[in-house]
Structure formats: C-alpha cells, structure tokens
Structure 1
Amino acid sequence: MSNNKQKKLNDIPASVLDLVHILSGQTAADSFPNSLDLARHVEKWGFERYWMAEHHNMPGIASSATSVLIGYIAGGTSSIKVGSGGIMLPNHAPLVVAEQFGTLASLYPNRIDLGLGRAPGTDQQTAMALRRNIGSAGEDFPTNVKELQQYLSADNQTSRVRAVPGEGLNIPLWILGSSTFGAQLAGILGLPYAFASHFAPASLQVALKVYRESFQPSEQLQEPYAMACVNVIAADTDEQAIHLSTTLYQSFLNVIRGKALPLQPPVDSMASLWDANERYAVNQMLRYSFVGSPATVKEELQAFLDETQVDEIMVASAMYDHQARLRSYEILSDLFKPAGKTA
C-alpha cells in the first residue's frame, strides 16, 4: 500500500449509513420523510452512496423492510447509489433477495448496491421468528452468497430456478463484516468489503489486512476495495457537536444495558447517566467516532484514513435533530471527493 501513503480525504468518496432512527415521541412514519430529505441533500452535496441496514425488533430503528425503503429512497432521488448495509442473508432465501434486488435494479439501473451480512440483525428469539429455525446460524453464509451470485449471473439462464428479474443485471455485491470471517470471504470472492467500525472497532485493522492479503481478482473487482463505517457528529463548534453527540452515547449506553429505546434527545452531560464501567464500555464501542467542529473532524478523519488507507468512508450520524444532522453531513461534504469524479 506504499503508493497510497499520501491519500487525503478529498481523494476518496464518502457515503451515508442511515439507520432510520425512530425518535423518542415519534413513530416510524415520521422517520421515513427525514431519511428521504437527507438522501436528497447528500445527493446534492456529492456523497457516493446511501445505505440502510436490516434490523428487527428494535423500537428505535425503522429499517426492518430494507428493500422496500431502498425503493423509496431511490425513487425520490436521481443519481446517488442506494443500497443495503446490509441485508442479513441468513434471514432470507437467496432467491428472494435476488428477485427483490433484481426488481430494484430494473427500476433504478446502475444505482443499487447489495451489501450482505451474516449476522441476524436482531436477537435469537426474533431470528427464530424470521427464519422458523436457526439452522447453521450463519455458517452457511458463504454458500448462500455463492447461490445468490448464481441467480444474478447471466449464465443462470439455463437453470431450472431463475431470478426474474435479477438474472444478468450485474448488481454490485458487497460483503459486510465486523470480524475477519467476512474479510477473508470478501477477499476470496473478489468482492468489495465494508467494515462496521462504527460499532465494532476492535478488529478493523486485522480485518483490512486479511481482506487485502486474501483478495483474488474477480469479474466484479480487479483490486481490493475497502470501506469503513464511522460515526461523525459535526457542528459549527466543538461545543455544539459534543452536546449533539450525547444522543449517540445514550444510544450505545442503552445497547450495553440491553434496553431497546427510541433515539433520545441530547443532554447537557452524560455524567449522571452512566457509571465508570459503562462509560468505558461505550467508549470502546465508539472508538471510531469523530465529534467536533469542521477543523476537528477533518483532522481526526484524516488520521483515521492515514491509519487504515481505506478506499471509501461511510458515515453514520445518530442525531436527534434533523436539521443538525443535515448540517453535519453538509460539513462533511466539503472534506471528501464528490461522486461522479471517482477514478
């Protein structure tokens, strides 16, 4: 990677991960228009892609029917790539995923990404309700990815089971992960890899190393392409950003406490909300969270890029106030390479 040592933020694209948060006191119906409004703004500001993630049985996240929401966002925008970050493949038959994304790619040509994960995106009881049996709990993920690839390939036309629409549409597949398992699989299959460092930072460096070392060129991708997701809360001043970030910290505090709650408004201080152990645990999970003014965020994101040499950065922003979230992404848009100018 020696030829990339001078890589700067404005050399690479930036993208958006929207968890479609449900705000405290609101409903999912309130969240969807905010997501579309954000997508329209980040498209205008030059972001590369807009992804949503499959979660289930979570009162604070409205993206359970991920493919439906992708259609909603793609239909309300014109050029930004829209996709899944990701579809949790163990919850679905590969044929159904091929048909759904084949339909999306037919409606919105060259704009649909299919990111795949092997976790259930929920608890075990809900996973059982989704699948009816837990089965291999993700161990057959590589087999299911290959089956999905087969349905989407042009040479599947002689098969007795075909994805219509879907077959031959060359929908870009991504492997998502938070460990070395997905990294190695993405490398072996020659697919782009997206790492969930916004909540699972510990394995980022080793996963990137495994991915790059195991990469084998494929029809889709000739060289390794790695994207990392981080949290960013940007505002006009450090003080504003720190205040807004307490929503993110409350969200992860609820995660480690096993509480499923809607997204909470910011507070003046976290001090009375957590003890020392909880604070440590949350900060470990949120290691790659960049909070501050434009200058602060630029410096910290550049250090992250220096450390990882990723090819793209995806940004999640758990913020209660919609206008503040828009402003955060607007600040970011000045730091990165605009879409449409990628090599």
Structure 2
Amino acid sequence: MRSIDSPSWISRALGFGPISVPPVAVAVTRHELALAVFRRGSDGLELRELQRVPLPEETFGGGALGGPVGNAAALGAAARTLLERVSGRPHHLSVVLPDAWVRGMIVELGELPEQPGLALEILRFRLRRLVPFRIDELRIAATPIERLSGQEEPVRALALLAAEGVCAAIEHAFAAAGARVGQIVGASLARLEGMAAGGRLPGLTAVAAVESEGFTLLFARDGAPVLWRQKTFSGGLSDEDRARLLAAELRLTRTFLAERLGGEALSSALLAAPATVQPFWERVLAEGLGRPVTVLTADHLPLAEVPPAPGLELLAPLAGATCREVTP
C-alpha cells in the first residue's frame, strides 16, 4: 500500500512488463515479527530462511486496524533484531499485515482524473460515507477491477484501507534498521497473489480466510478479484454466532453472484484457517456455498517443497507477497 500500486494481474491486463519484488517478506502481527527469505528457483519458491522475533504485548493497541502503536521503541528494537539474524542482511522487503488491519471493499466510481492526487481525493470523498474510520487517518490504495453486469458507474475498484499511523511506524522501524519497505499488503491479497501465480487459479474461485479477529471471503476470476467480503468478529462471539455471521454473508454473496455473474459456477472453493478450526469452517463454508471446500495446501502455492512448521498459515501470505509484480 505504499510504492507498489499495480499487482501482477492488473499489469498483465494492461500489457506492461512486470518486475518482481524482492523475495523477502515480513509478517507483522500484534505478537511478533516473522521474516521469510525465499529463493526463486526453477521449481518455485525455496524457503531459505525464517526468523521470528516476539513483540511486547503493548507494541500495538487493541483497536481497529491494529492501532494505535503503543510502543514504537519496542517495534524498532524488534525490527533491528530481526534483520540482524538474517544472513545477507536484506535492504528491501515487503510487509504483510493481518486482514483485520487492512480492510478491503469494492467501490464503483465515475471517471477519475489522470492526476493521482485528484483521483485519491475523489476516492477519499466517496469512502468517507462508507467506512467507520476517519479518512484523514487512513492510508488508501485502489486498483481497477473487472466490470460486472448491472454496474452503474464506469469504474469498479478494490479499495484497501489501513491505519496511516501503523503503516508509518512499521516503515520507520525498518528504515531505521536499514531496510526499505516497498509494499504493505493484507494477508488475503498476498495469499491470492501466490495462489494465482503461474495460472494456478483458472475460472471463478472462492477463497476464504479465517483469523482470530474476523474473516475475509473473496472471489477471483483467473486470479483477479471480482468480489470482496470482509467481516470483523465482535468480542465474545461463540463459534455458532460466527458461523451464523458467515452464513448470512454467504447468502448475500450468492445472490449477488447470481445477479451479476449470471450464475457462473465456481471452479473451486479454498479455505485458509488455523488447523484447530479448519473442520468447523470447512463445514460452514461448504453449506453456505453449496459445494465442497478444500483446505489450502502447499500444492496451491508456487513453493518448491512443503514448508516446515509453522507451515502454510504463516508462510502462504509471505510467499504470496514475494510473487507480486510491479510495472516499471
């Protein structure tokens, strides 16, 4: 959400020659920093190194979008320690945030001016009425996506929102440690990039991701997003309440897809979730989508080998972030 503004699927659609980002990515959560270094080989991405550093509990606040930053000094110290542990210390990297810290939504817009600053102001004005956050405190990125039947406005875009204070604090922490953050991306979008690499997602695919703070459900056609749904879990919700929340969202989604995509059948439905809750969410999704759901495995990603513990829950979005491409 910083200097990277054209993911690979939009670059391909526009006919540009994409450039791969550095194969180093850091996952930032409330509890730790985890850095993965990959090597691009003929058989896919090879995990060369994985380092993890815990964060003090007060580093990030418990509010929406991961904020506020409660201990910038602790974040900076953890970033230095993390980079010092890596062989061949990296100077450029990507950052992956939890989905709960990067909210996505589809917006329809009128024709936008060519000047990026003016286009951003129009987007901010539109989002001001749609989101429960102070727009001036957000970092916003948007990418045009496929038009659908029944669309009233000429432009349809995936807008991504993150807390400016959180993004800036992370960038500053790594810059002070000698590494530039080239992109900040949410886990679901990064994971999608990895899954779609090399044409791995033909047709219409549903991808659901469950985290402790909520879930994201996206639909992609040939790897490019066409629909994005995201919900936050309120504190104290039981599994049954969470299942009802997702079931209601799935009913709305299926109605939308039937109207806008002409009832196009899903090619596949995939689930990314912690192992302890996979069976529960697999059942809920299968009932809501009306088709079997497959749990994400290493076969769905451009990895040269099955990753070691802690496995795909951590490494899938990190690998995906290194699959992203930018236009020159």
Per the normalisation by structure 2, the TM-score is 0.32
Higher strand share: 2
Higher helix share: 1
